[in-house]
A and B are shown apart, each in its own frame.
Chain A
């Protein structure tokens, strides 16, 4: 079944479809916003930063 977000913009969305889109977007947004505060994510950023700058050799 096609996700309502990907329906043609010309098609009108029902209130329940619009609510479903809003809920999924809000979840994705919230999930993404919380990453920055997690220590595992900060460590990963450091790990990638060192490899990209060449400080840690990436084979």
Chain B
């Protein structure tokens, strides 16, 4: 398997092609990162197609599970053909529409032909997707810097320890912490400058 350049491009390449353990890890990681926006999407789309009915939690969980399976086993996300958030939205919409149609008799189609398209993204979906994207960026950073640097960044920037506390805990000079944080923040901004991230971030 070729080395991924970013976690986003990694998503387009992962298939169960020999590296089964890696692949298993991938879908779980993807689920951790994206289940929240997928759940928000599925609930919003369900409400849209049912005239604002409250979505049953089990139905939403099943839609999210099916979308993840679709994403990893059936289709391949190609960033050259569109954005991840649009792609996930289309998969989710198709699953919700399919589920609603399956529940009703054929002569009571709840969604008339031509009205199957997904609705506009809700603010909740935007917020959760952006949050997942930032979590993906942190994962991406972790893969691109030495472990020790990530530990210092995690301690100070993600878990809120002061630089002095981190220096004392790690037994290093305060200057080492400051220097590492500066380097890691610069690396983070380089990774975030990847157009893929910017295109995905804004709705």
Which A residues have a C-beta under 8 Å from some C-beta of B? 3, 5-9, 18, 22, 24-32, 35-36, 40-41, 43-45, 47-48, 51-52, 58
> Is the C-beta of B59 less than 8 angstroms from some C-beta in chain A?
no
Is B33 a contact of A29 with CB atoms below 8 Å? no
User: A31 vs B134: C-alpha distance in the bound complex, in angstroms?
Assistant: 11
> Is the C-beta of B192 less than 8 angstroms from some C-beta in chain A?
yes
Q: How far is the CB of A48 from chain B (nearest CB, A)?
A: 5
Known: A9-B186, A26-B160. A44 touches B192 (CB 8 A): no
Q: How far is the CB of B189 from chain A (nearest CB, A)?
A: 4
Interface of A: prevailing SS: helix
Interface of B: prevailing SS: helix
Known: A25-B138, A25-B158, A36-B32. A51 touches B65 (CB 8 A): yes
Q: How many B residues have CB within 8 A of the partner chain? A: 38
Point out the residues of chain A lying under 8 angstroms from B157, CB to CB: 22, 25-26
Q: Which B-chain residue is minimally distant from A22 (CB atoms)?
A: B157
Count: A-B pairs, CB below 8 Å: 83
Considering the complex, which residues of chain B in the window 67-117 have a beta carbon less than 8 Å from any beta carbon of chain A? 68-69, 72-73
Is A52 a contact of B186 with CB atoms below 8 Å? no
Is B134 a contact of A48 with CB atoms below 8 Å? no
User: A44 vs B68: C-alpha distance in the bound complex, in angstroms?
Assistant: 10
Known: A3-B201, A6-B197. A48 touches B192 (CB 8 A): no
Is B72 a contact of A6 with CB atoms below 8 Å? no
8 Å CB contact of A9 from B73, B190, B198: B190
Is A43 a contact of B33 with CB atoms below 8 Å? no
Known: A25-B157, A32-B32. A5 touches B192 (CB 8 A): yes
Q: Which B-chain residue is minimally distant from A7 (CB atoms)?
A: B189
Q: How far is the CB of A13 from chain B (nearest CB, A)?
A: 8
Known: A28-B138, A32-B33, A51-B66. A5 touches B72 (CB 8 A): no
